[in-house]
Amino acid sequence: MRQMKFSMVAAALVLLGTQGAVQAQTAAEVDALTKKALASFHSKGIAKADRLIQDDSNRLCSEADASGKPLDAATAKAIEEANLKVIHWPAGGQFLGDWKKGEKIAQSGKGMTWKDKDVYNNGGNCYNCHQINKAEVSYGTIGPSLWNYGKLRGVTDPSSAASAEIVKYTWGKIWNARAYNACSNMPRAGHNGVLTEDQVRDIMALLLDPKSPVNQ
């Protein structure tokens, strides 16, 4: 998400017919190009133009990127605390669903386009950034490997008190990664409505259920 503003800048440069190596050096320049690019975007179906509107977390991280200076510790902490407060925890404390469904969701990049009917068939797109299974021949490396995720963290029984903190952290990370890393590249899957609560449960099972192939 924090790369969104730069993607829009690139779109603006194409739309404006700008040639050569052009780089915005300041947040103000980024904003100016973004406003021009936004003129070509419009809502259609479930794909709404308001997804391009940045909240404070995205804005501050984008400005830090544009300036070439990392966020100061106080601002980073404030972003993390604000995002932690808005994590939606699972109803009834039920963190895990069906790992078989979770595997399908994690390996799917479908959804969020104008022709899709709703979010219930969205994919998690996890494979684009993480290795999930040793049998995979193609996967992204932006994020760490998720192979043996639960096993490496000693989660032999996700419902046990000993596993409670890992289980809760994993849910929070999937729901809203910026609660733990202010300018995380990881999409805020639950917070931004990319995945439903049930879908997050299923991905949780993929990562933490001892029977899941991830933990074999």
pLDDT of residue 25: 60
CA distance 83 to 188: 10
Instruction: Indicate whether 5 pLDDT > 70.
Output: no
User: How do residues 76-124 score in pLDDT, each as one tens digit?
Assistant: 999 999 999 999 999 999 999 999 999 999 999 999 888 888 777 899 9
Domains recognised in the chain with CATH numbers: 4-70 (no CATH), 91-215 (1.10.760.10)
User: How do residues 18-44 score in pLDDT, each as one tens digit?
Assistant: 433 345 467 778 778 877 777 778 888
